[in-house]
Every structure is written in structure tokens, then in C-alpha cells.
Amino acid sequence: MNNYSDLSDFEINHSVAEKAIDFEELIGVPMFGNAVRWGDGANWHHFNPCNSWADAGPIIVANAIDLIQDNGQGCALATPSAVMMMQGEDVYIEQDPNPLRAAMIVFLKMQESK
């Protein structure tokens, strides 16, 4: 399995876009920071799931990814940083201070194992 935690936000956003979006053309140039864009030349869409709940939310819900954070209750999985977990036949866990980035890494790990 790839070590996605070594990738930049832009690289993760680009990989997620390739797997999650039905697009005609993905432009591999960072737009507005870490966002990627695609479109037909007249209408452009910007996608930044590592930093946008609007972009990450539908992926998180559609793939039943759980966000778990340590709330002082002593959860064995939780640390001071966000912990992501998807449970089905397999369990995927990623820890990152940014829960959206962690969720997108979990999504990529899930896609890799399919």
C-alpha cells in the first residue's frame, strides 16, 4: 500500500479527483493553493477535499468513513491529532492533524485495495 502521508495536499487532491470525479479533463496545476481544477474551458470546477468540507463531505459520507477525535474520554484509537477509520471487511486508519486530509488518505487506501 502506498504511503500517502508523504504526499502534498495537492497530490492527494489530484489522486482523489481521479478516483472520485467523473470529469472530462483534469488540470494538474494547483489552483487557489492546493485545489485542482477540471472543466470544458468555459466552466471550471475547483476541488480541494483536503481543505474543503464541501468537497470532502460527500466522499466521506458515500464511503462510510468515520472521523474519531480524542475528546478526553480515553478512546484507544484516538490521539491528540485526528484519527480516521473506515470499517468494513478491512479497517483503514490514518492520523493527521487535519481530519479532511486523513479522510482523503483513507479514501485512497480503500480505492487501492479494491
Residue, of 4 and 69, whose pLDDT is higher: 4
Domain ranges of the chain: 4-113
Task: Report the range of poorest mean pLDDT among 18-27, 48-57, 89-98, 102-111.
Answer: 18-27
> What burial letters (b/e) apply to 6-36, b meaning 16+ CB within 10 Å?
ebebbbbbbbbbeebeebeebeeebeeebbb
CB 64 within 8 A of CB 77: no
69 compared with 61, residue with greater pLDDT = 61
CA distance 82 to 106: 12
In this predicted structure, what is the pLDDT of residue 23? Answer: 55
Q: Is the distance from CB of 9 to CB of 46 less than 8 angstroms?
A: no
Q: Is the pLDDT of residue 31 over 80?
A: no
The hierarchical CATH code for the domain 4-113 is 3.30.2120.10
Task: Give the C-alpha separation, 52 to 49, whole Å.
Answer: 5
Is the pLDDT at 19 greater than 80, yes or no?
Answer: yes
